[in-house]
Structure 1
Amino acid sequence: MNVLAEWIELVCRELGVDPATVDRDALLDLTKEVAHGVARPAAPLTAYVLGLAQGAGSAPQDALERVVALAQEWERTAGAGE
């Protein structure tokens, strides 16, 4: 098992989260898109907000994909008005 998998397993156990519900690759893709398309500090904040929304039951089923799309759109249009 690699360090990342061990860490996620440990954190899930500590917080009472089923590790099977953590889509590590999708979350890493999300943070990559946000870090490169919006701003690096926005990546962990976005992941945190997504987690809050999912924990509260207010996130739509496709929330992760929608946020990735927002970051990609942000990157395309952020400089459009300059």
Structure 2
Amino acid sequence: MNVLNEWTALACKELGVDPARVDRDLILELTKEVAHGVARPAAPLTAYLLGLAQGAGTAPEDAVARLTVLARNWGQATAQTLTGD
């Protein structure tokens, strides 16, 4: 078992999370998009926010899709936010 698999299994056990509900590759792809498109420190924060959204009832696939689009369009999104367009 590699370290990432072992960490995921142990962290899930510690938190009482069913590992079958964790789409690790989806989350890693999202955090990669955020790290490269926004800023590296935004990646773990985004993962945390994703967890909060899921806890509040947002479907993880929907939240990941929305955050991925936001990260990919970050330059445009910030320009629109700053100019109010």
TM-score above 0.5:
yes
How many pairs align?
Answer: 79
Aligned residues with identical type, % of pairs: 67
User: What residue number does 1:52 align with?
Assistant: 52
Establish whether residue 14 from structure 1 lines up as the match of residue 18 from structure 2. Answer: no
| Higher relative contact order, structure no. (Cα contacts within 8 Å, ≥ 6 residues apart) | 1
Secondary structure of the 2:73 match is helix
Q: Deviations over 1:14-45 (max 9, x none)?
A: 10000011101010000000000001100000
Runs of 5+ consecutive residues of structure 1 not aligned to the other structure: none
- Per the TM alignment, residue 66 of structure 1 is displaced from its structure 2 partner at its CA by 1.1
Q: RMSD value over aligned CA atoms?
A: 1.8
Secondary structure of the 2:39 match is coil
TM-score, normalised to structure 1's length? 0.86
User: What residue number does 1:67 align with?
Assistant: 67
